[in-house]
Amino acid sequence: TDYIMPPHSWTPMCGPTLIPFSGTFMNQQVAFPRSAGRVAFRSANKPTSVVTTRTFYGDSVYSADKANLDNLVRICTPLTAGPDGAVYFGFNVYGANSATLSSGLARIAPNGTGSWVSTTAMTNDAGLPWIKQNCAPAVTVSGDAVYITCSAGSFSRGMLVKVNAKTLAPIARVALKDPKSGNDAAIDDQGTATPMIGPDGDVFVGVLESPFPANNDRGWMLHFSGDLATKKIPGAFGWDDTGSVVPASMVSSYHGTSKYLICTKYNNYAGIGTGVGVNKIGLLDPFVGFTEAVSGITTMNEVATVVGVTPDLGFRPTFPNAVREWCVNSAVVDVSRKSIILNSEDGVVYRWDLTKNKLTDSIRLTSGIGEAYTCTLIGPDGHIYATSNATLFALGGSIKP
């Protein structure tokens, strides 16, 4: 691809997507970003297939001014495909251009027709001109609505917005606030926090705290009703993380009434505020609160946690229990094995067995430390895919290489 990254400090992601399956398997399509806000489509199963490129603001408009639009228009989020095959993505614009574009959310319909809506139209706020970098649009299961985060700039205030999936007409919006201070939360362009829609339609999204780092640089996982009208119990960690849904039935030790739980990073970074480096993964109840020890406010109740494995020698002996942080943007939930697969900064991928509440299996992928943040995925046959240091690894269904 000729994709050009937006301006950045940390390298942003270049996120392709599979189009929902229709017809024969050999016709499965993959979409991936190109320069100037264009998207390419090709077969996922035919290496010699023809690549078709679509421009949401018009192929002829792009062709008439390629160099200028390549320079000024950049896709800044992963692509997301809706259930009808439409592809959504955020883009930012860095100056006046012949296509008269400003930053916003774009849609390419299954027939190739493009449309877009600006950030200021979605937020009704001229002071929020940007799409949050790395923030994949979240599409409802029914395919009728899309959520995305807009901001005033990296580490500035922001807003979560909901739009109609077909027309992109704004439906709802909510300012993202720090649940402890009441200040505008910080929306950063480094982390990968993306809206996540629960099975009941509730929406969860990570932010950074304000003032920073009052919550030990952990941020918050904000929680809203699907119409964004009701603020619900927040999670105590939201920085650079997208929560994963865990059916409550997977956790034999859980006796509450919630139908699902949330798996999230739960690091407590050594040397930041009161952080002591006892970095964990957390399994949280999104509908039951408790007084969380670090923040002192009511957050989602901790159903279970597991501490990292590898000592962080850079912080010992000052912090004698410090371990390497969990380094995962989104963990995969293996329902059939009642476990969660996730990566650590130590370069190892682990299985968290929820029946035993222990890390029961692991395999080293890389030497770890200072590498790219990682995500995991699982196929229908149980094979696991994990990214570490910008390399994709495939692991057998029994987590053997």
Examine residue 213 and say whether the peptide bond preceding it is cis (omega within 30 degrees of 0).
yes
Using the Cα atoms of residue 386, residue 391, residue 396 and residue 401 in order, give the sign of their dihedral: negative
From first to last of its 401 residues, what are the pLDDT tens digits of the chain? 999 999 999 888 889 999 987 766 667 899 999 999 999 999 988 878 899 999 999 999 999 999 999 999 999 999 999 999 999 999 999 999 999 999 999 999 999 999 999 999 999 999 999 999 999 999 999 999 999 999 999 999 999 999 999 999 999 999 999 999 999 999 999 999 999 999 999 999 999 999 999 999 999 999 999 999 999 999 999 999 999 999 999 999 999 999 999 999 999 999 999 999 999 999 999 999 999 999 999 999 999 999 999 999 999 999 999 999 998 888 999 999 999 999 999 999 999 999 999 999 999 999 988 776 677 888 888 889 998 888 889 988 554 44
Q: Which value, to the nearest 10 degrees, does the dihedral of the CA atoms of residues 202, 198, 174, 56 take?
A: -130
The whole-angstrom separation of Cα 215 and Cα 1 is 40
The whole-angstrom separation of Cα 136 and Cα 122 is 16
Residue 88 tokens, joined: 């959504």
